[in-house]
Homo-oligomer: A and B are copies of this chain.
């Protein structure tokens, strides 16, 4: 299973709606970076509302993919972080520095478009 990545103007939208297994998380990382490169996307919104629990591997992959996207020049907004996910991220020392957060997909997209000056 791969996670679809939608292109909307110069942003990419991803909504993760089911728990990720390790292989899916790794393919997602690869697909997202590839898509940023192919589309010259300036921003990425990743919505994880549906994930109410993550393990350390997935947390690390998510943290990495955000760092990598930033390296490639895309601003990242992560939306819908649930309490247990926030706890896991902080406890694992994944601080998501420079990553914006928002309540849901539409707020995230608004924030990103504001940030990109559209």
Using a CB–CB distance below 8 Å, which chain A residues touch chain B?
Answer: 1-9, 13, 15-18, 47, 104-106, 109
Most buried by B among A6, A8, A47, A109: A6
Measured CB to CB, the nearest residue on chain B to A104 is B7
Given known contacts A4-B15, A6-B6, A7-B105, what 17 new A-B pairs fall within 8 Å (CB)? A1-B1, A2-B17, A2-B18, A3-B4, A4-B16, A4-B17, A5-B15, A5-B17, A6-B13, A6-B15, A6-B47, A7-B104, A7-B106, A8-B13, A8-B105, A8-B109, A9-B106
Number of copies: 2
Write out the residue numbers on chain B whose beta carbons fall within 8 Å of the beta carbon of A5: 15, 17
Report the bound CA distance from A87 to B86 in whole Å.
49
Query: Can you list 13 A-B contacts with CB-CB less than 8 angstroms, sorted by A residue number?
Result: A2-B18, A4-B16, A5-B17, A6-B47, A6-B105, A7-B104, A7-B105, A7-B106, A8-B13, A8-B105, A8-B109, A9-B106, A13-B13
